[in-house]
């Protein structure tokens, strides 16, 4: 299930593949909240079956090396891991 976190800063679309348990995912979400950035995310460990398979398949297309969090900005730019500077630059 895709969830949305609202923010004032919503010029570019931000989508996160995350795990509810992953520390770098939590840090990335908090960083976006602190920046006031609107984002959508999916906690892949909290979904099952076909829904999880589809999420992982979509993730493998944008990040073949794998890893959470994977951040997709404006549907083109991919950032992997907790990379505050790279996120700032891409936004």
Binding-site ranges for other proteins (CB under 8 A): 19-26, 44-45, 53, 56-57, 60-61, 64-68, 79-83, 86
For residues 8 and 72, which CB has a smaller minimum distance to other proteins in the complex?
72
Tokens 């920046």 appear where?
Answer: 35
User: Among 73, 75, 66, which residue's Cα sits nearest to residue 88?
Assistant: 73
Closest distance between other proteins and the C-beta of residue 8, in Å? Answer: 26
Q: CA 64 to CA 37: how far, in whole Å?
A: 26
Please identify, using beta-carbon distances, which residue of 9 and 21 lies nearer to other proteins.
21
């Amino acid at each position: 299930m895709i969830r949305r976190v609202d923010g004032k800063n919503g010029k570019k679309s931000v989508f996160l593949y995350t795990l509810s348990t992953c520390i770098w995912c939590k840090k990335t979400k908090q960083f976006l909240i602190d920046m006031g950035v609107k984002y959508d995310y999916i906690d892949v460990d909290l979904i099952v079956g076909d829904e999880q398979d589809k999420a992982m398949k979509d993730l493998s297309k944008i990040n073949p090396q794998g890893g959470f969090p994977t951040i997709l900005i404006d549907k083109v730019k991919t950032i992997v891991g907790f990379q505050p500077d790279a996120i700032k630059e891409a936004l």
